[in-house]
Chains A and B, each alone.
Chain A
């Protein structure tokens, strides 16, 4: 390590210049960093249900579907209908829109004695104005399954204007333009904007506002805490600079490797700012403690002491992040794991090279005035830490029992943990997207798309009859109110030809009815070009995990029983994806936590050359994780895409506190041979560093409470709780164990 430190000092100019240039390079790269608000794109391709959902969404345009809902007392009012037409036109004439369907332009096929009447439900050039016409329109709309609950809500108080976007257009840009245009129309009724393109646009705005607001707040807050703890410009500047540089490099790295900012990775700057300053703080602390006259030698000696512990701290933290790569279901979580781990290692690298180099280059050595600082800070040592260590010595068993009681209480809480995968829950209750989703659920049978895919000859009576049967089966579920397919249209046309509302029994008839349907705008949403694949489009109304699971289970059984060689059936859609996501949340929690615990124990154990010490050091953080999950259960914070990350991250960061305590203990024990004294020494010396670190990291993460995204709020709160828990555990539980183990050794030794 001496040689490493010497090299750093030798090449100080090179290091400082290289870091400067790389920062400019990566900073420039950030301008190419894009936001990806498309949650669907984060579904993994190796999961068949998710892959099918992505493919079907693309093939049948379902993922590019948006919806505007107009809410009023009664839709069947001359003024309201006129405004529905205005909105419909405004959407229709927006570049990038493929089709629009609403009350004022939907096609209506009537059959009568003399023939077929293909027309519009409402004549858009001659809207109904008299009460009589409005009433008859209302009666007609409610009599037809095609309209009721689809373009007008069952209670007649809301109308939907649905639109699909062309492939290969910028969905968010078009969604934004539509929203702006429609809002400018000054419609007196309440309007809601929903559907994936709209939701993505909103998420995009949330991500930007989170980054713009949260990053400066975290930055200032940490600067303030650093100032309080170090009371020197250097103590504030160096940790902040290294933290900022690691954020810039990480984001620049993301941009230059073609990754995008997602709803999860937008938290990377905050996470890195909160954790990465710690490594520089350790280095500075070590430098402060060396009082050699030769500054260069002092620097080298300080680096010799601190390099290994800092590497250990950073490596364990990155293991917490890396564990997601193996455990997570969503791609965006894996990406988050990779890049936060990278950012942590960047911060480590900077703190052991750039920081000493910078100190040496600019002679930022500290004046010998820290004596008075030490005196001031002893309030913490004397009022809190000293009494703490005294209590520990008197009652180590009480401390242990106290923790055990606490843990039992929280273990009960663990069984109450719920999972949440509903994307609408990611928004705050008053967020327009969430409100719109709620309205859509209430008025239009939900917004979770269901696709039942049929592969076979779509013009054969067998396949079409199977589609009708499946639709009827779907609608038996209380949470499914609408289901549409090409089979409906064929039945309708058959009726129009005078042969009743059923699927004709010959293929020839179907082919000719098809001729009548060709070119209709809705067709590409229902069948593919070569007529080998068709979908039933439906919606699921409940977002309750149990309902969703029961539904997918029931449907999969139905499919198993009904599909045959001529007609292959598959189910996908949000319920299927949510079911998968839900089971994967728990699985990924197990996997990543297990991987993290094992790796951390192995690494700490091998460095301390004792696996039992590795296990001791993991005890406080494992206890903290029990408290964390118990708290989630008791407080009703669900396990979701962000909170699933907390345990492993907490483990990675929190283990550092134990490492400090154990290494300090070892060090002192070797020098003096007195275990009890060693504990007291550790609590007094490392205790201060731990308390400061707990405060600064927790404060950084607590800033996430201001986030616009609910899972990130919970994420921040839970990490802060875990930090406090693991810090407290390292200062109480771990010493108590060490005291008891040490006493046992002593008794054993004495007996010998």
Chain B
């Protein structure tokens, strides 16, 4: 009887353990799959429309051409409004960033250790704009599985302004639908709603709507004219190209 009991406890423990590990395994896999969907293309070119919406509903629209290669090379070149046309931002690996202001006719390297700063008046921080795979930055935990979605809780591995990010992932295609950001005080501070569309072989984030819940301010980033895998060369992502 005693042995039986022991065996039972042991079985339960092992059972539980495997359930937990299966869960963990699942969460990691799910996040990995999401990264695969998000960062699948080799390169991308497109037009980016940034719509800033303040708390009284006033909109301000900016447009930029965006080019991206891999996950760590990107160039933003603003085309409108006129006062900002020509301003360009080049992001390179290892947090190297250059900014070009045409009115000054020169570029400056920007080293930003303050990644929680918002990018160009949007509600996206430099941190949010980074194309680093989520699996590299966060440890996932499966919160729940529903009919169409997985809900993961992501805990940052390194330093971050967020204490956690709760992400809702489409069960069929593994693209994120909603990300909820929590500050270190445990308050939900931002949320991003994603709308994905299939373009060719890839799922494209046609619109990301980021809301700063404190300021009640919204930014919509819409992508159009998206072209994938056109074979952008590294030469596109140089200071020389930035200044031209």
Q: Chain A: residues with CB nearer than 8 A to chain B?
A: 89, 92-95, 98, 107, 114-120, 123, 125, 166, 496-499, 506, 508-509, 511-513, 515-516, 518-520, 529
Per-residue interface assignment for chain B, residues 81 to 109, with 1 indicating a CB less than 8 Å from any chain A CB and 0 otherwise: 00110010000000000110111101011
For residue B187, which residues in chain A have a CB less than 8 angstroms away from its CB?
A: 93, 95
Per-residue interface assignment for chain B, residues 47 to 85, with 1 indicating a CB less than 8 Å from any chain A CB and 0 otherwise: 000000010001000000000000000000000000110
Least Cβ distance of B140 to chain A in Å? 23
Tell me what chain B mostly uses at the interface: helix, strand, loop, or mixed. loop
Given the known inter-chain contacts A98-B215, A519-B118, please indicate yes or no for A509 contacting B104, CB distance below 8 A.
Answer: yes
- C-alpha gap A529/B108 in the complex (Å): 27
Q: Chain B: residues with CB nearer than 8 A to chain A?
A: 54, 58, 83-84, 87, 98-99, 101-104, 106, 108-114, 117-122, 159, 183-187, 214-215
A117 touches B111 (CB 8 A): yes
For residue B83, which residues in chain A have a CB less than 8 angstroms away from its CB?
A: 508, 511-512
Least Cβ distance of A65 to chain B in Å? 16
Least Cβ distance of A85 to chain B in Å? 12
Q: Which of these, A98, A107, A529, contacts B214 with CB under 8 Å?
A: A98
For residue A518, which residues in chain B have a CB less than 8 angstroms away from its CB?
A: 118, 120-121
B185 touches A119 (CB 8 A): no
- C-alpha gap A120/B98 in the complex (Å): 19
A166 touches B103 (CB 8 A): no
For residue B183, which residues in chain A have a CB less than 8 angstroms away from its CB?
A: 92-93
- C-alpha gap A498/B108 in the complex (Å): 9
A515 touches B106 (CB 8 A): no
A519 touches B215 (CB 8 A): no
For residue B84, which residues in chain A have a CB less than 8 angstroms away from its CB?
A: 511-512, 515
| Shortest Cβ distance from A108 into B: residue | B114
Instruction: Report 14 cross-chain contacts, Cβ distance below 8 Å, ordered by A residue.
Output: A93-B187, A94-B185, A95-B187, A114-B108, A114-B109, A115-B109, A116-B111, A118-B114, A118-B117, A512-B83, A512-B87, A512-B104, A515-B84, A515-B101
For residue A119, which residues in chain B have a CB less than 8 angstroms away from its CB?
A: 111-114
B121 touches A519 (CB 8 A): yes
B104 touches A115 (CB 8 A): no
B58 touches A498 (CB 8 A): no
Q: Which of these, B108, B184, B186, contacts A116 with CB under 8 Å?
A: B108
- C-alpha gap A518/B117 in the complex (Å): 10
For residue B110, which residues in chain A have a CB less than 8 angstroms away from its CB?
A: 115-118
| Shortest Cβ distance from B58 into A: residue | A529
- C-alpha gap A116/B102 in the complex (Å): 16
Least Cβ distance of B50 to chain A in Å? 11
| Shortest Cβ distance from B78 into A: residue | A515
B109 touches A513 (CB 8 A): no
Q: Which of these, A93, A166, A513, contacts B101 with CB under 8 Å?
A: A513
Given the known inter-chain contacts A93-B184, A93-B187, A119-B112, please indicate yes or no for A512 contacting B118, CB distance below 8 A.
Answer: no
B103 touches A93 (CB 8 A): no
A115 touches B108 (CB 8 A): yes
For residue B214, which residues in chain A have a CB less than 8 angstroms away from its CB?
A: 98, 166
- C-alpha gap A508/B104 in the complex (Å): 9
- C-alpha gap A718/B185 in the complex (Å): 51
For residue A123, which residues in chain B have a CB less than 8 angstroms away from its CB?
A: 113
Q: Which of these, A107, A499, A515, A529, contacts B117 with CB under 8 Å?
A: A107
A93 touches B108 (CB 8 A): no
| Shortest Cβ distance from A93 into B: residue | B185
For residue A94, which residues in chain B have a CB less than 8 angstroms away from its CB?
A: 185
B104 touches A496 (CB 8 A): no
B106 touches A498 (CB 8 A): yes
Least Cβ distance of A33 to chain B in Å? 32
B111 touches A115 (CB 8 A): yes
B106 touches A497 (CB 8 A): yes
For residue B101, which residues in chain A have a CB less than 8 angstroms away from its CB?
A: 497, 509, 512-513, 515
Least Cβ distance of A498 to chain B in Å? 7
For residue B106, which residues in chain A have a CB less than 8 angstroms away from its CB?
A: 497-498
4 other contacts beyond A119-B111, A509-B103, with CB at 8 A cut-off? A94-B185, A115-B108, A116-B111, A512-B103
Given the known inter-chain contacts A166-B214, A512-B103, please indicate yes or no for A116 contacting B109, CB distance below 8 A.
Answer: yes
Least Cβ distance of B124 to chain A in Å? 9
Q: Which of these, A95, A120, A519, contacts B119 with CB under 8 Å?
A: A519
- Residue among A116, A497, A499, A515 facing the most chain B CB atoms (10 A cut-off): A515
For residue B102, which residues in chain A have a CB less than 8 angstroms away from its CB?
A: 512
A120 touches B111 (CB 8 A): no
Least Cβ distance of B97 to chain A in Å? 9
A118 touches B108 (CB 8 A): no
- C-alpha gap A125/B87 in the complex (Å): 32
A125 touches B58 (CB 8 A): no
| Shortest Cβ distance from B189 into A: residue | A93
For residue B118, which residues in chain A have a CB less than 8 angstroms away from its CB?
A: 518-520
For residue B58, which residues in chain A have a CB less than 8 angstroms away from its CB?
A: 529
- C-alpha gap A125/B187 in the complex (Å): 20
Given the known inter-chain contacts A118-B112, A120-B114, A519-B119, please indicate yes or no for A506 contacting B103, CB distance below 8 A.
Answer: yes
- C-alpha gap A115/B109 in the complex (Å): 5
A120 touches B113 (CB 8 A): yes
For residue B109, which residues in chain A have a CB less than 8 angstroms away from its CB?
A: 114-116
Least Cβ distance of A520 to chain B in Å? 7
- C-alpha gap A125/B103 in the complex (Å): 37
For residue A511, which residues in chain B have a CB less than 8 angstroms away from its CB?
A: 83-84, 103
B184 touches A89 (CB 8 A): yes
- C-alpha gap A512/B118 in the complex (Å): 16
| Shortest Cβ distance from A118 into B: residue | B112
For residue A513, which residues in chain B have a CB less than 8 angstroms away from its CB?
A: 101
For residue A516, which residues in chain B have a CB less than 8 angstroms away from its CB?
A: 99
